[in-house]
Each structure stands twice: as structure tokens, then as C-alpha cells.
Amino acid sequence: MLVNILYKLVYTQCLKKVNGLEQKEIELLKLLEKNGRLDTETIGKMIDETPEKVEEMIAKLEKEHAILGYSTLVDWSSVYEYEGVAALIDVKVTPVRGVGFDKIASRIYRFPEVKAVYLMSGAYDLSVSVEGKTMMEVSRFVSEKLSTLDTVISTTTHFILKKYKHDGIIFEDDDDDKRMMVTP
């Protein structure tokens, strides 16, 4: 087990990183991470750059794969007939010589039902987040696709009953301004 953890740690350290980013690029990343819809003109004013320069910075960060995409956090549970089912699955696997966990991870993350895959330290190896229309659909994916993969030793499926917070956003947040209108 310990060897397994060490291997994972060393392995993670070796991952390619985007180095040497300017402070303003970090600021830009943090702004976009919080709100992908901020327009370049607004960002420009906030970080004291022209909108053109912001476009250029974004293009560079996209090219360097520091920015991988833009998405919207949707609370599907509030959309009738689209509520869906989500599960987190703990997966134990046998790492393969030479490619470690990467190969098996890529076998798993290519399934469109799989929304996220993480290599974990601790009691299991991969944490797999899966979404489907029904519980049956997710169960079928686990039993037919995931657990039948050669290197998968075991799976433990946890269905998500309610989402309170995701990616830093609280689902039922009360965002009323509780301050008085004008104060000294």
C-alpha cells in the first residue's frame, strides 16, 4: 500500500505544469475560474490591461492548456425531467508496468458517462464520477463496462443523494444583500 502511495506521489510530481505565468495571468485565471462569462472589457478594466491584451493572454493560456474549456454549472435537479443520477465510484486497479495508472484511467475517462476521474492516495486508486439518466443506467455502466475492465480489481459505488456545493458554488445559496441601502 505504501509503495503504491509513493508511486502515485512521484508520478503526480512529474506531470507537466504550466510554469512561469505572470501575476496578471494568474489573476485572469482566477477571475475566469469563478466566472467564465466575464467579458474581456470588464476583465481589462479590473486588471488594468486593454481588452485586446486580455484576449491575447487568454489565447496564450488556452494554447498552454492552462485554460481547458469554459462551462456553466447547472443545477439539473431543478430542471423537471432532467434531474438525472450521479454516483462516485471508488475503483481499485492493478497498475501496469511502464504506464502506471494512465492507461487504465484513459480506458475509463473516454466513456461519455464519466464526468471526472481522479488518481487518489489511500484505500483505492481511482475516483470516478459518473452521471446517467437513471439509477439503472449508472448501475449498468458499473457492472457491464467498468468492473469488467481487465485491470479493475473492485468497485464501490456511492450514489449522490443531494448536491449542496459543487466547484465552490453553494446550490441553495441565499444571495440577498443583507446590508442597508446607504451607510456611512
Partner 1 sequence: MSSKYLAKQVQDLKPSGIRKFFDLASKMENVVSLGVGEPDFVTPWNVIEASYHSLEQGYTAYTANAGLLELREAITDYLDEYFSVSYNAEDQVLVTVGASQAIDIALRALLNPGDEVIIVEPCFVAYSSAVILAGGVPVTVSATSDNAFKVTAEQIEAAVTDKTKAIVLCSPNNPTGAVLNAQELSEISEVLCKHDIIAISDEIYAELSYDEKATSLAEVKGMKERTILISGFSKSFAMTGWRLGYAAGPTEIIQAMTKIHQYTIMCAPTMAQHGALEALRNGRDSVNDMTTSYRQRRNFVVKALNEMGLSCHLPGGAFYVFPSIKATGMTSEEFAEKLLEEEQVAVVPGNVFGESGEGYIRCSYATSIKQLDEAMKRMSRFVEKHIQ
CA-CA distance, 28 to 164, in Å (whole number)?
27
CA-CA distance, 39 to 89, in Å (whole number)?
37
114 binds partner 1 (CB under 8 A): no
Q: How many residues bind partner 1 (CB under 8 A)?
A: 16
Residue 137: how many CA atoms within 13 Å on its side-chain side?
A: 11
Please check whether residue 147 is in contact with residue 104, taking contact to mean a CB–CB distance below 8 angstroms. Answer: no
CA-CA distance, 130 to 143, in Å (whole number)?
13
Nearer to partner 1, 2 or 180 (CB): 180
Among 16, 63, 110, 179, binds partner 1 (CB under 8 A): 179
Residue range at the interface with partner 1 (CB under 8 A); choices 40-48, 87-95, 136-144, 157-165: 40-48
Q: How far is the CB of 44 from partner 1 (least distance, A)?
A: 8
183 binds partner 1 (CB under 8 A): yes
Nearer to partner 1, 14 or 182 (CB): 182
CA-CA distance, 184 to 163, in Å (whole number)?
39
Contact residues: partner 1, CB under 8 A: 27, 30-31, 38, 42, 45-48, 177, 179-184
